[in-house]
Amino acid sequence: MMLQPSCLVFFITLWFSLEIACKASMTTPECKFFPLPTNLKTHLYPGIINVTWDCNITKSMEEHTYQIEFQRNTVENISISKCFHEHYVTDHFDFTLSKGMELNISSGSEWKFEKVIPEGNSNTAAENLDCKVYNVSIVNCSWTVGREAPKDTQYTLTFRQTPHKSKISNPKQNRVCVPCKDYRTDSFGRQVGCVLKAQNISFDVSIYVQLVGSSNETSIQFFDEKIKLNDFVILDPPRNIHMNFSSTELEITWETPETFHDIENHCFLYSVKINGDIKDEIEGYSYKTSNLQLNEKVTVFVRAKWKHFCSDNNSWSRWSDPHIKEPESASFTPNHLLLVLGIITFAVLLLLMFLCHRFRVWKRLFPQIPKPAKKIFESIEQKELLFQEQIITKKTLPKEDEECICLQVTEIPQNEQPQYVNIGIHQDYSNIY
């Protein structure tokens, strides 16, 4: 089918009109061509992306805005006149560098895409990084040596962090760098673990962990990872545990574990162990039970863990120190007190009496007046009686019916009569002769 001459004239006129309009638009700034700088190179270092280019920059290029895109989701403007661009991964990037990254530089009219791999031999980087937080701020990390890393390989660990943009005015001046100083080694002397204090690290912001290797035999790749420490916190046991007893039940109370900052109780679950029986998944600040006897010994332990919406770590803390309640003894009444006082008083009196008798205290305090001995008087009386008996035997008195014949009477002068001592006998025997 042949076109009509009028249609042909219309198409020719339209084509010329579009060509003229396009040539005219090429003179406007929006349609200018801005080339990319030459010799573009990208280097990946632990936590840093470094892009360089030649400095053959024209004035129009300096006035134009170039852009760089990381991993197809983060775009930044760059100043082409500086001849380099450097970015820290810690500044809120959600990717790491040890496995490589995709990079795209664009001028608006031209762009360059490339995938960058870190330097170093394959399979020499550290592997299986695992970090746990104990005692609120003690971070314990461990890793394994790369599968093809030489025996003289040494790894050094560093934590890097940039606080949240809403909390700081200049991220570059507030970047935190915490190198490890306390390492553990394997049988070859290679560093495979580290303990450090995260006192300057924020637990609720991502941390960039880098493990840089070195060897005299080959080039070692670095390893990096972004983590949040609050996902790796092993909680301490609950604090201020108390046991309250009543006649029918036992109530156990506690406070939240000590953490890196104040956290509401709704983020914790608790477990109570009473005499070996464990009750898990307890919410709140207390637990009550009535399955105990008053005369029973009770031993209580309490532990805690995170709820799933507060942390990815579901490990239980260690058990608290044991809290022990001894069996209750019989109640002590006032009557018991009086009985005890009476027994004590009686025992004291017995002791005093014994001491007084033992040391003759009473005789020393109240000495007696000495009296003549009774034996002396008895001895005198016996001697008198014996003497009288002797006299009576020698001078026996005549009996009344006895006949006495006197053969001769001799008169004794008065001055020659014998003298007798009167010892209780008042008779005169002078006329007997």
**CA gap 385, 389 in Å, rounded:** 6
**Exposure of 22 by Cβ count < 10 A (0-12 exposed, 13-18 middle, 19+ buried)?**
exposed
DSSP 45-97: ETTEEEEE------HHHHHSPEEEEETTTEEEEE-GGGSEEEEETTTT-S--S
Per-residue confidence at 24, pLDDT binned at 50, 70, 90? very low
pTM: 0.60
Residue 140: DSSP 8-state? E
CATH architecture of 127-231: Sandwich (2.60)
Does residue 192 register a pLDDT over 90? yes
- In the three-class reduction of DSSP (H, G, I as helix; E, B as strand; rest coil), residue 179 is classed as strand
Count CA atoms closer than 13 A to 160's CA, side-chain side.
Answer: 23
For the chain, give the mean pLDDT.
78
Tens of pLDDT, residues 74-87:
788 888 888 888 88
Find out whether 220 and 149 touch, Cβ atoms under 8 Å.
Answer: yes
pLDDT tens column, 309-355 = 888 788 899 999 998 887 765 555 677 788 888 899 989 888 888 77
Residue 417 contacts by C-beta under 8 Å, 6 or more apart in sequence? 430
**Rounded distance between C-alpha atoms, residue 3 and residue 1, angstroms:** 7
CB-CB contact of 44 with 71 (8 Å): no
Q: What is the mean pLDDT of residues 164-183?
A: 70
H or E element at residue 368: none
Q: How far apart are alpha carbons 88 and 45 in whole angstroms? A: 10
The owner of tokens 């560098």 is: 97
22 with 28: CB under 8 angstroms? no
Q: Which residues contact 70 (CB under 8 A, 6 or more apart)?
A: 49, 76, 87, 93, 95, 101, 102, 103
How many angstroms separate the CA atoms of 172 and 178, rounded? 15
Residue 100: half-sphere exposure toward Cβ, Cα within 13 Å? 8
Q: Topology of 239-325 in CATH?
A: Immunoglobulin-like (2.60.40)
- Amino acid identity of residue 28, one-letter, is T
Residue 29 has pLDDT above 50, yes or no: no
pLDDT of 71 over the 70 cut: yes
pLDDT class for 140, splitting at 50, 70, 90?
very high
- CA–CA distance, 132 with 134 (Å, rounded to integer): 7
- What b/e readout covers 36-65, taking b as 16+ CB neighbours within 10 angstroms? bbeeeebebbbbebebbbeeebeeebeebe
Q: What residue spans define the domains of the chain?
A: 29-116, 127-231, 239-325
Whether 359 shows a pLDDT value over 50: the answer reads: yes
**Matching CATH topology for 127-231 and 239-325?**
yes
Long-range CB contacts (< 8 A, 24+ apart) of 418-427?
423/384, 423/387, 423/388, 423/391, 424/384, 424/388, 425/388, 425/391
Q: Which of 65-79, 175-189, 396-410 shows the lowest mean pLDDT across its residues?
A: 396-410
| pLDDT band for position 432 (cuts 50, 70, 90) | very low
Which numeric CATH code is attached to 29-116? 2.60.40.10
* Average pLDDT over every residue of 119-140: 90
